[in-house]
Structure 1
C-alpha cells in the first residue's frame, strides 16, 4: 500500500488527467517535482501499475509521469494494427514530453512498454537519457522477425502470443473481473513454480481460473482500477501490440 508519509504539498498527490498529444488524447498520472522519469506499461495493464514507484520517486525528488499507453485505458485507441508499431508508440512518448514541456527524461518500461522504450532510446537519444527495462532484455534487430523465428523453431502452434493474431482472441479475456485476476496470479511468483505461466505450454496459459480473487501482494485499489479500465476499453486494441510485431520489424531496419 502507498503511504503519503514524508510527502508534502505538490509531491503528495498523484494528478490524474487527460492531455492532448497532437489531435489525440492520452491519460497520464503525474506526481512530484524534479528530474523527470516516464513510465510505460505493458499488456494487460494501465498507468496505475506504477503508482507505488511514482510515489517512491516523488519522495526522492523526481517528477514521475506514467501514461495509459495507446490502446489502453482512457488513451487514444485506434483500431488499425499498423498504428501500434514502434514509430507511433515512440511518438506518443515524445508527445508526452512535449505536452508537459519536459526536455528529456529517464524511461522505465515493463513488457511492451520496455520493448518500445528500448526503441525510443535508439530513435530519440536527444529526449531519452537512461532506461530501466523490466522483464524484457534488449536484443538488437536481427535478420528475422521474432514471429518468424518462433515459427522456424517449431513453436508456431505453441507460443501464446502468435495465437493473438486471431481476431476472436480478445473474447477469451472477458470478463475482465476474472481474467485480470488470472493474469496477476499465474504470471507472478504466487503459484508453485511448476504451475506458473509458460508461454510455450498451452496447458499453462495465463487465463486459467485463478484460485484467488487477487494475489495478496496486489494492492486492491490497483486491481479494482485495472478491472474497471478493461471493462471500459476491452482488450482488442491492447492485443494489437502483438499483431504489430512484423510491421515494426520491417520499419526498424535502419
Structure 2
C-alpha cells in the first residue's frame, strides 16, 4: 500500500510540477521508497521460505510449459528462495559501498579527478597522444586547465553512472550521453585494453581516497562490477556506430 502511494506520488509529480520541483521531491522521498521496497522484498522472500518449510504436502511441482517437465522438490524451492535472498543482500550491500565511497570522493572532485587521469597516463603513457592538449608534452602537465576540465568530466560521469547502477540493475546513462561517449571513443580509436587501464586507475583512485581503513575487497568488487557494466554499455554503442557507419567503397 505504502509502495503504491510512493509510485502514485511519482506520477503526480511528473504531471503537475516543474523539473526543478520534481528533482527536489524525488530526492526527498527516494531513501524512504528504496528502504520500503527492500523491506517488502525481504518480507516476501522470508514468508516464502517459511511457507514452503511448513507445508509437507508441497513436495514436488511440475512445470510443463516446455517439454520435458521440470520437477522441483521442496528443498530445491527453499534453496532457490535463499539464493535469491542472498543475491538481493549482496546487491544492496554493493550499492551501499559504492555510495559510501562516492561521498568521500565528492569532497574533493578536482584533486581526485586529476589523480585519476594522472594514473591513466602513468599506466599507459601512449594514450597521451589521443588528446590534443597533451600531444606536445613530454610530461604530465598537472596545471593544464584542459586536462583538469577533461579529468573532472570523465571522472564524474564514471562515478555517477556507477552510483546509479544498482537502482535499476543497469547502467543509467541517457541515450544522448551514451551516443556521445560512443562517438568519442570511436573517434579516438579506443580499444579493449584502454578500458582496463581506466578501470585500474579508477580502483586505485577510490582506494587512495577512502583510505586503507575503509577500503575492502568488497568495495573494490562493487566498483569493479559497476565499471565493467558501464564499459560494456559504451562498447555496445561503439559497435552499433561502427556498424552503422557508411562503408568506403574500394575501386
Give the TM-score of the pair, scaled to structure 1. Answer: 0.25
Give the TM-score of the pair, scaled to structure 2. Answer: 0.25
Structure showing greater Rg = 2
Kindly indicate which of the two structures has a greater share of residues assigned to helix.
2
Kindly indicate which of the two structures has a greater share of residues assigned to strand.
1
